[in-house]
Structure 1
Amino acid sequence: MNKSKPSLVQRSAAFFAVIFGMLTIGAGAAHAGDRREEAIDLVRDASETVNYFAKDSAFSAMWSLADDAKAIVIIPEKLRAGFIIGGAAGDAVMLSRNEDGSWSQPTFFAIGSLSFGLQIGGEASEVVLLVMTDEGKDSLLTSSVKLGGDITLAAGPIGAGAKAQTTDVLAFSRSRGLYGGLSLEGALLKSRRKWNKAYYNADVSAAEIVIKGEVYNPRSAQLQTAVWHLANRNAPATMAPVILSPETDTGQQGPGEQTRLGAPLAGSNTNDNVEYEDDAIWGEPINREESDK
């Protein structure tokens, strides 16, 4: 009995699955012991991404919106590539605004999606997501959340002011490379609890980090500085909040020592060696938008 040949889409999907599986296994074996250093590098890269967005006037619409943001998600590098079938993946950190106006320690995420249709080229993007509602923030604190599905999503900066009151998340990005359309609709954000454990030396959830404040790492200060200045652009640096480290310290700073958020650092950087912990994030479709011609 003759069997029908698999379609181009099916063959392409299988090809991507095999290649991605090989890359994931190899990366896991080579970098399992370096998860803490990767988390530290991601926090550093995230602070540089925020500093770039805070200085580039092309993102001026973002500045006023950051004043009202409940939380912020930073993706220092989100990679996309494909022909007919494409994929996108990256690592992310999230910080939540505290009641006193300061910002929490970061929690870690992986972001990924899979898209079908005509698409040619490759792209590397730096992305900042402003979480404008408590509902959006609460959803992000679950184990995984689909952008544009579980929470609403709109692109910025064009028209961002009009959408800020009705949209859970506003997305801002800068890209390098050529791609036939860019959309985060359908992308899945998944909590990276192993990275949380490596960074804080404690098995903690996203909520325990950003809401309860149960852990502390002094290496987060630069990122907290950058986010505070983005959300308080008109405030002098001397008004930056003082961070009081809890007794559950990492050992790099004495318990009870104070760390004042300083001025943001200039420059931007991306990490060319992004690793992905959760294969399942590639299983979600992404709704693509055609680029303006």
Structure 2
Amino acid sequence: MIKSFVRSGLFAALAGVLALSFTAASASAERLPKLVGEAISILETKQNSGKPIPPRILQQARAVAFIEVTRGAFGFGGSGGDGVLLLRQANGSWSAPFAFGQNGASVGFQIGVDVQRYIYIFNTDQGWKPFVGDGHLNFEALARATAGPDSDSTVADSGLPPVDLYIYSVSNGVFAGAAIGGQSVGGEKGVNRAAYGTADAAKIFDPKTLIPDYTKPLYESLKKAGANKSWYNLGK
């Protein structure tokens, strides 16, 4: 009876582990479609506002990312979120969306919870590469960032982008400060592997990668925003 009890206990434990693994895998598989949907909402909200991103900014971007960050604190707190990054291909099109995460501690005394939505426009490879790393890296130490300009005339007057990254805030909350000040960033392996069968950024960004059908509205929104071609290699 004791052996039977032990066997049944081990079986139950194993079943529990398998169930949790299946749930985690299922959650990861569902995550990229949600992130893409959030990206579409973020971009369209910004472009339909009184201060849309100038087409020239998007046209000369090396990469673009969309993220929703939740910040919560009672005194000293933290923040975190995940989003998607698309790399500009050699032919001017956009790559498959790559899932990344961002997190960090809040600075200063704060009370409350808010959700911030951002668009990151990367002007250099130095800017976007930390976002696809294997581990979470301190972005603030790796690249320069500033708020993005709101008009094409400003861009024309200033010439080429002077910094690695332009940050556009799509929502206003109770927390102030830079979106990525003191934050660490890196690729979301589970989400990417569930969507593409690999977490390797080079493979996901490869032009031959078949892009999920549900991403089509995101490319169409980018095209509408003036971000050049919206060619994509749909397949999944």
Band the TM-score falls in, shorter-chain normalisation: 0.7 to 0.9
Aligned residues: 211
**Quick one: percent identity of the two aligned structures?**
23
The change in CA–CA distance for 1:114 and 1:158 in structure 2 (over 3 A counts) is farther
The change in CA–CA distance for 1:140 and 1:176 in structure 2 (over 3 A counts) is closer
Structure 1 residue 223 corresponds to structure 2 residue 214 = no
Which residue pairs with 1:34 in the alignment?
A: 27
Structure 1 residue 55 corresponds to structure 2 residue 48 = yes
Which residue pairs with 2:62 in the alignment?
A: 70
The change in CA–CA distance for 1:242 and 1:106 in structure 2 (over 3 A counts) is closer
1:99-178 aligned at under 5 Å gives the runs 99-143=90-134, 144-157=136-149, 161=155, 162=158, 165-178=161-174
What does the per-residue CA deviation read over 1:32-66, in whole Å, with 9 as the maximum and x for residues that have no partner?
12221122111112112111212212234x44311
In the TM superposition, what is the alpha-carbon distance from 1:137 to its structure 2 partner?
3.0
Which residue pairs with 2:14 in the alignment?
A: none
Q: Which amino acid aligns with 1:42?
A: L
1:1-293 aligned at under 5 Å gives the runs 32=24, 33-60=26-53, 62-75=54-67, 77-143=68-134, 144-157=136-149, 161=155, 162=158, 165-200=161-196, 202-211=197-206, 213-232=208-227, 240-245=229-234, 249-250=235-236
Separation in 2, partners of 1:52, 1:216: 24
Tell me the TM-score normalized by structure 1: 0.63
SS in 1 for 2:46: helix
Kept in 2, the 8 Å contact 1:94–1:106? The answer is yes
In the TM superposition, what is the alpha-carbon distance from 1:187 to its structure 2 partner?
1.1
Tell me the TM-score normalized by structure 2: 0.77
**Which one is further off, 38-47 or 142-151?**
142-151
In the TM superposition, what is the alpha-carbon distance from 1:176 to its structure 2 partner?
4.4
Structure 1 unmatched ranges of 5 or more: 1-27, 251-293
The change in CA–CA distance for 1:242 and 1:67 in structure 2 (over 3 A counts) is closer
Kept in 2, the 8 Å contact 1:54–1:63? The answer is no
The change in CA–CA distance for 1:213 and 1:125 in structure 2 (over 3 A counts) is farther
RMSD: 2.7
The change in CA–CA distance for 1:214 and 1:105 in structure 2 (over 3 A counts) is same
Kept in 1, the 8 Å contact 2:70–2:81? The answer is yes
In the TM superposition, what is the alpha-carbon distance from 1:181 to its structure 2 partner?
4.0
Kept in 1, the 8 Å contact 2:209–2:233? The answer is no
In the TM superposition, what is the alpha-carbon distance from 1:153 to its structure 2 partner?
1.5
Structure 2 unmatched ranges of 5 or more: 1-19
In the TM superposition, what is the alpha-carbon distance from 1:106 to its structure 2 partner?
0.3
Which residue pairs with 1:21 in the alignment?
A: none
SS in 1 for 2:169: strand
